[in-house]
Every structure is written in structure tokens, then in C-alpha cells.
Structure 1
Amino acid sequence: MDPEHRALLRAHRLDLSGQLLVSDTIVPFLYQEDILTETQVEDIESQPTNTQKSLKLLDILPSRGPRAFDAFLRSLDEFSWVRDKLLLELRTRPGPSSTDVRRLPDSVLQKVPSDRELSRLASRLGAEWEPVLMDLGLSPEALFRCRSDHVLSTHGAVLAGLVQWRRSEGKKATAQRLLQSLTAAGVHPSVLEDVLM
């Protein structure tokens, strides 16, 4: 999925999760279009509330390839006002080229992120959190431990991984290093800028 589309879904995450009923038509359509696997459909449907089903879908979608966003828009036939709002914003917002991104000052890039900043970052990362932590140097065992220690909270698992990375790297655990791993995992730089600025 394009960084621009990821950023749009992230920006409207709460709005979408409150308005969409994904079980009726959206999830079946995305499964039919080969965007979602059977396991992912079961994962979404196992969520207790409609809002949580929508949030789970929004976590999965960005990792489902270049066709995922267009298929998601096509699945919104019964929610045309939502689709129109997303399309309008796509047309009016500037595309995320390197010139559009606010450049973080070197003083910010060289500092070690605080617990609060890491917590804010953890709440903004979706399905791409594992590739980010792997790129930062966490072992598969450490990732498994983060997941199993925080089974009910993705935020808790991500935060535990980020804190572990910062502890092991010390002064080398800078925002600059974090930015490199986020970029490698396809996360738009604006995510880190929102957290740090």
C-alpha cells in the first residue's frame, strides 16, 4: 500500500472504526478480491465488538499489497459518504514527497526518545510494528516475548519492544535510528514527526 494511503487510513482510524460495519459486506468483499486470507477474516470476525473488528481490519489492510486500498474503497458501496470523504481528502492533500515532509531538526534526531514519546509511537504503529522492531535489532525471541507478555495489548507489546531496544542501545537509540527503521518498514516519516514535535 502507498505511504499516502497508509497515512490517510491512519489519520481517519477512529472515524472509520466508529462508522463502518465491516462484517456485512466489507470483509466478505475483501476476501472475495483476495485481499484478505481466510485466517485474517477469522481474526477480524473473532473480535468482540464492531469497532474492534474495524480496527483489526485497519491494522491488517496496510500490509496487504498495492491493490488493498483500491479494493477497500470499492468495498464501501454501502458507506458511500465515507468513501467520498476519503477520496476528497486524497485529492486535496499534498502527496507525501520528500519535500512535503517537515524535516526534523538535528537536535531532535540525535536525542534518545523518552518513555512518553515511545508510548505515543507505539500507539501509532499498526501491523508494521514487528518489521520495525526487527530492523532495530530485536531478535525473533525478544519479539515473541513482547507478544506473549502482552497478549491483550498490541500497544503494550510494541512499547515493551521499543523500551527494550532503547535499553540495549543506550545513547545510540536515537530518533534518527528510529526513523531509519520506520522508513525501512514503509512507515511514513510524518508518524515520527507527530510523536516528537
Structure 2
Amino acid sequence: MDARDKQVLRSLRLELCAELLVEGLVIQYLYQEGILTESHVQEIRSQVTNHRKTMMLLDILPTRGPKAFETFLDSLQEFPWVRDKLEAKRNEVMLVALDDDEIPGIPRNALKSPPTDQQINKLARRLGPEWECIVLSLGLTQNDIYRCKVNHSYNIQSQIVSAFILWRQRFGNKATMESLCSGLKSGEVDSSVIQQMFQ
């Protein structure tokens, strides 16, 4: 699920819990469309109150792939007002994100050049297991990740550094700080990590 859609669900979490009854068609529709598995449905139904059932659904949805949010909107036939609220919030978040694409304190021209070895090292020190998703979103393959892990099997930081260097080599002048920053944002990496690369 897109980071912005996750943010929408998070920001409306309590309102959704108060207004949504997941017992009805919502769960069945999400199951029918392959967003929820049978074990997800059982896990949601095992919750004691409707409030908890909705919370469980909201915990599961962000982990269910890129179509989860759209399918969730489609499942809200019985709750058009909830759907309208989600769509309005989503548009609001997208507008903010468009204004927000500038990273404070970082000059525009610095974003057009490729990251230096020093910047990649700084980044590698701050990243955790999410590094794999980030390099995949930048265009590397599972095979590339596997190779980086095998070549540096005892040092995670070296695995991360070699993956980003491989990305820089493979994509040449397309491997800019700007594309790296948007990959980090989509991986929900804190903006302080991005800013630290430029210090």
C-alpha cells in the first residue's frame, strides 16, 4: 500500500472504528477480491467487539499490497459517507505531499547529482531491514540483493552500501539524489535520515 494511503488510514483510524461495521459486506468483499485471506477473516471475526474487529482490519490492510486501499474503498458500498471521508482525506494528503516534496535545507541542484560514497555510507548506518524494499523500488532485483548479501554475509552495513553502489552504477545519470530521496520517502524513512546525508 502506498505510504500516503497508509497515512490516510492512520489519520482516520478512530473515526473509522466509530463508524464502520466490518461484520457485513466489507470483510466478504475484501476476501472475495483476494485482499484478505481466510486466516485474516478468522482473525478479525475472533475479536470481541466491532470496534476491535475494525482495528484488526485496519492493522491488516496496509500489509496487503498496492490494490488494498482501492479495494477497501470499493467495499464501502454500505458506508458511502465513510468512503467520501476517506477520498477527501486522500486528496488532502496528496496536495500536502505535492507541496512537501521539497526537503527543507537541501538545495535543488544537490538533488540532481548522484549520491557520493560518503552519502551512501551515512545512509547505510541509519537504515534497517527496510533497505531491501527501498533498493527494489529503485529498480534492483531480488537477485541483486541476494548477491550483495552473499558478498558481505557478515556485515549488513556493507550489504546496504554495495546495493546502493550497484544501483548508482547500473542507472548512471538517472541514479540521482532526487530518485534516492523519493525511494526513501516511499519506504517511509524519516526525513532526518535524508537530511543527514547532506551534512
| Aligned counterpart, 2:60 | 60
Q: Partner letter of residue 82 of structure 1?
A: V
Aligned partners of 2:13 and 2:58 also within 8 Å: yes
| Aligned counterpart, 1:30 | 30
Q: Deviations over 1:66-121 (max 9, x none)?
A: 11000000001111001011112222332535x6169689xxxxxxxxxxxxxxxx
Which consecutive unaligned segments of at least 5 residues does structure 1 have? Answer: 106-131, 137-182, 191-197
| Percent of aligned positions that are identical | 44
Q: Which runs of 4+ in 1 moved over 4 A?
A: 101-105, 132-136
Q: Deviations over 1:7-45 (max 9, x none)?
A: 000000011011100011111100000000111111111
Task: Check 1:188–1:83 CA distance in 2 against 1; reply closer, same or farther (3 A cut).
Answer: farther
CA distance in 1, matches of 2:19, 2:35: 21
Task: Check 1:135–1:87 CA distance in 2 against 1; reply closer, same or farther (3 A cut).
Answer: closer
TM-score (norm. length: structure 2): 0.52
| Aligned counterpart, 1:21 | 21
| Aligned counterpart, 1:186 | 187
CA distance in 2, matches of 1:188, 1:13: 22
Aligned partners of 1:101 and 1:189 also within 8 Å: no
Aligned partners of 2:5 and 2:69 also within 8 Å: yes
CA distance in 1, matches of 2:62, 2:4: 11
| Aligned counterpart, 1:96 | 97
Aligned partners of 1:44 and 1:57 also within 8 Å: yes
Q: Partner letter of residue 187 of structure 2?
A: G
**Helix, strand or coil: the match of 2:7?**
helix
CA RMSD of aligned residues (A): 3.0
CA distance in 2, matches of 1:42, 1:185: 31
Q: Deviations over 1:120-157 (max 9, x none)?
A: xxxxxxxxxxxx97559xxxxxxxxxxxxxxxxxxxxx
Which consecutive unaligned segments of at least 5 residues does structure 2 have? Answer: 106-126, 132-183, 192-199
